[in-house]
Amino acid sequence: MYVVLGASGNTGHAVAKNLLARGQKVRVVGRNAARLQSLAAEGAEIFIGDATDAAALTKAFHGADSAYVMIPPDPASNDFRAFQDRVGDAVATAVQNAGVKNVVSLSSIGADKASGTGPVVGLYNLEQKLNQINGVNALHLRAGYFMENTLPQAGAIRMLGSAVGPLRPDLKLPIIATRDIGAAAAAALLRLAFRGKQTLELHSNCRDSAISTTPKPPPSSAKPSANPISDTSRRPRIRFEP
């Protein structure tokens, strides 16, 4: 049995779909039953619970050998860091109480730093809390910047030809699509090749392997991608202005 937190979100949904496509028994956890119905139609068991509720998560994890865990966004929170810590505490408590043996967590590039990284500190804390649980194999996926986060800028880019943000224009930023994170997480859960406490950076072309972190150049005969997010070969260059 696999349990997937945040199953109505981008990465959790992708994890669940990949596991279900391989005939696995999956319990999906979320706050809104309606948003989980598509996974239920594919055979998933639905569990409604709040990510800050350790008792509810313990019930959700009951009977599971492996789980995908993450801290969901909470736009309504006035103190997101405090919310992150509540979720991290609940997840770690539930993993320990339910006896889950294998955990893949969604973390981030920069989660090796204990301070100075804003909300990424919450993911550092989540890693540390899971690492303190004896007998649990934990793999922390330190993902790059989500490609989908650029979509809200589409209108400005179309009008101005520029992307505006707080980063230096010359900064090389590791990026990855959320569907590729989900595929890598599902592959790690299926293979269970990790032991003890491990981390893995995910960026670029990591979809085909949960243990590969080196982007592979496409063959010269490769056809253009039909994915509008990943296909940049036919697009004009865009300026980035800090």
pLDDT at 218: 42
pLDDT at 46: 98
C-alpha span between 224 and 221 (Å, rounded)? 9
Return the minimum-mean-pLDDT range out of 31-45, 74-88, 164-178: 164-178
C-alpha span between 108 and 28 (Å, rounded)? 22
Residues 156/163, Cβ–Cβ less than 8 Å? yes
Give tens-digit pLDDT for 49-80: 999 999 999 999 999 999 999 999 998 889 99
C-alpha span between 51 and 73 (Å, rounded)? 10
| Among 148, 104, 99, 147, residue whose Cα is nearest residue 126 | 104
> Which 8-state DSSP code applies to residue 48?
E
C-alpha span between 43 and 20 (Å, rounded)? 7
**What is the DSSP annotation of 217-235?**
PPPTTPPPPS-TTT--TTS
Give the chain's mean pLDDT. 86
Question: What is the sign of the dihedral through the CA atoms of 87, 89, 90 and 91?
Answer: positive
Q: How far is residue 124 from each of residues 110, 117, 120, 139, measured CA to CA in Å? A: 8, 10, 6, 13
Residues 106/11, Cβ–Cβ less than 8 Å? yes
* pLDDT above 50: residue 216: no
The two most distant CA atoms of the chain are separated, in Å, by 54
pLDDT at 37: 97
pLDDT band at residue 205 under the 50/70/90 scheme: low
| CATH hierarchy code of domain 2-149+175-215 | 3.40.50.720
Give tens-digit pLDDT for 150-196: 888 888 888 888 877 777 878 888 899 999 999 999 999 999 999 99
